[in-house]
Amino acid sequence: MKKTTIRIAFFVVLLLILAILFFFKKSLFFKEDSFVNNDYTTIIKPDTETCLQCHTDTQGFSKHHNPNLIGCASCHLGNTKTLDKEKSHQGMVLIPGNLSDAKETCGVCHPDELTKIDTSLMTTNSGLVAVDKYIFGEANSPDIHYHIKDIKKSPSDKHLRDLCANCHLGAEKNEFGAITQLSRGGGCNACHLNYSKEAKKDLSNYITSDKTKLPATHPSTDIFMSNTHCFGCHSRSSRISSNYEGWQETLLKKEEIKDKTGYRVFEDERVYIYKGEDVHHTKGLLCIDCHSSHEVMGDGIRYLHEEEAVSLECSDCHFKDKPTTVSYDSLDKESLLVYLHRDYTHADKSILAVKKDKHPLINTYITNAGKAFLIGKKDGVLHEIKPQSEICSRDTAHKNMSCATCHASWTPRCIGCHNQFDKNEAKAFDLLDREYGTGQWKEYVAEFSSSLPAMGVRENKDGRRIEPAMPGMILTIDKGSYSDKKIEDLVSFHRLYAPNSPHTTAKKARDCKSCHTDAATLGYGRGKLEYNIENGPGKWVFIPEYENNPHDDLPEDAWIPFLSEVKEGVINSTRSDFRPFSVAEQKRILLVGACLQCHQENSEIMQQSLVNGINPLLKKLSKNCLLPSWD
């Protein structure tokens, strides 16, 4: 009897110990994830759900979204109190993560992230709407806040619905499957949904079995984004994603490049030609190696245009003097969560941070010896980050230029674009409402090409800076075709260059002549720009490659007239704080270009001009120097 009592007591104590260990282990997990939601343990109760009674042995979940820890209903909702199939699936969300259900699904555990996403430009498309309305004459400024979901059916709104409104996070993902080059929107899925090979195979078997063979492998929801997650939207307009990989769009059809090398057909059947990839892409770096969650998801502030939302500068990693850093102990919740999910181990080292807003670049660190390293998010490869070159560090003559101005190797060009409304189009598809109708705006492009970037001037409260520019919209808009009124003033012509960081970074900077003696760089368009010194004082002469456009009598690809003022009232930029060079600025650039006719850029005198500027050298000219005449 005594032994029986002892045994019973032993088992009771053992059960109590096991229970304590179970709950202690569970509390440890939630303590780690309490960065997301302090009430996480009261929201998620997987032990009470009946889902896994039927969906047995399902695999593929990410470590932090395992249903044994967070349940199934935390993502998919539904009725977790019954084993009846029909009743248990009532109210279920098959594809959670769309912004329409995110408050009840992802946002329950990640409310801060959802709040930021709601104000992100990827959700609102504010800049896209603002510029389009501005160019259509429906707004007097491109600097007005909008939300893509609020647009109506004005000529500009219809233009957006027909050609542009697909690329926003509010677009619903309503079909199972991995994110591809054709994907648009999908809320949280746009970045965080990943299908393994097994998950893709199981999904295919599920569909071909008339949905009777349940998938054994679930897609993963995690932070391990690939460039494909970015590609669907960012391979349009300025084509950052395709640029980064080295591909320039063409007007060719896939049938025309059969057996030809150097071309690629993307999933939407657009044909690209290889022009040279970004140096960071050659190293295997992903978009998210530079653009972290703080930029991608937004910071809760409503920005007008995308360049305002991007706080990262090249110099944050390739620093000149002392870099901006943060310690592991001072990491914000979001950054700490990423650090833990990626199993990083550099908590004892300083982490690089962005100078502008101090957000950490969590996959970087500084050693005690002062060397900087980046851990590639694709493969974990360690990359030493090189400091700025000597010329970048000491050059005071170009201190107001963005890094991309010199280091972007090419940028896409698009000219001769005509926009016309086809009222008879019977299969018009509204990209915003995802429905067919009648009548559609159509875009007819004359030419795709590429070249070294042009340059423009960003001038605002933060100062004056020279940045790359591209012919984003040299176009005519036949507004009369939408209103059925065929009168001349309803056909508008614009030659709008856009500020652009092409993401075609080369280690070697462009040479001096490619800026100071290049017509396209200065904004004149392609052509022959020559310095003529045959008859005394020098004189710059420009012969354009393209004929003049009858709308404004400038070369088809030009931004501004050659050494002449732009006509008053002409809109030639997609931004109110970005403009082409003034005539005075053109003359100063071409003055240096005249010097380069005789002096090599690596000569002592030209190198001296980089440090001290050109003015001191003009005071001690040789008798052989022939400066330009501007008459």
- State the DSSP code for 256: G
* C-alpha distance from residue 408 to each of 246, 319, 464, 558 (Å): 12, 18, 20, 20
Mean pLDDT of each 10-residue bin along the chain, 631 residues long: 55 51 40 40 64 88 90 93 91 95 94 94 96 94 96 95 94 95 95 97 95 93 96 91 97 93 95 97 97 93 94 94 94 94 96 96 95 97 91 76 94 91 94 94 93 95 93 88 69 91 94 94 96 88 96 94 91 95 96 93 88 85 88 77
- State the DSSP code for 558: -
* Domain positions in the chain: 1-31, 287-312+321-386, 393-618
d(CA 198, CA 330): 40
The answer for residues whose C-beta is within 8 angstroms of residue 387's C-beta and 6 or more apart is 318, 319, 320, 372, 393
Residue 472's nearest CA partner among 548, 417, 409 is 417
Alpha helices of 421-488 — where are they, by DSSP H? 480-483
For residue 389, the model assigns a pLDDT of 82
Dihedral sign for Cα 502, 507, 508, 509, please.
Answer: positive
pTM over 0.85: yes
d(CA 105, CA 98): 9
d(CA 138, CA 228): 35
Residue found by looking up tokens 């690209």 in the block: 272
Between strands 454-460 and 463-478, the pairing is: antiparallel
| AA letter at 317 | C
d(CA 99, CA 617): 61
* C-alpha distance from residue 372 to each of 310, 353, 455 (Å): 22, 12, 31
d(CA 242, CA 229): 13
For residue 617, the model assigns a pLDDT of 86
Dihedral sign for Cα 611, 615, 618, 620, please.
Answer: negative
For residue 35, the model assigns a pLDDT of 40
Tokens of residue 30, six digits? 């939630």
603 backbone dihedrals φ, ψ, rounded to 5°: -70, 160
| AA letter at 555 | P
What does the chain come to in residues? Answer: 631
Q: Strand pairing partners for 37?
A: none
C-beta of residue 524 within 8 angstroms of C-beta of residue 544: yes
C-beta of residue 384 within 8 angstroms of C-beta of residue 317: no
For residue 236, the model assigns a pLDDT of 86
Cα 342 to chain centroid distance, Å, stands at 22
C-beta of residue 559 within 8 angstroms of C-beta of residue 497: yes
Between strands 440-444 and 447-451, the pairing is: unpaired
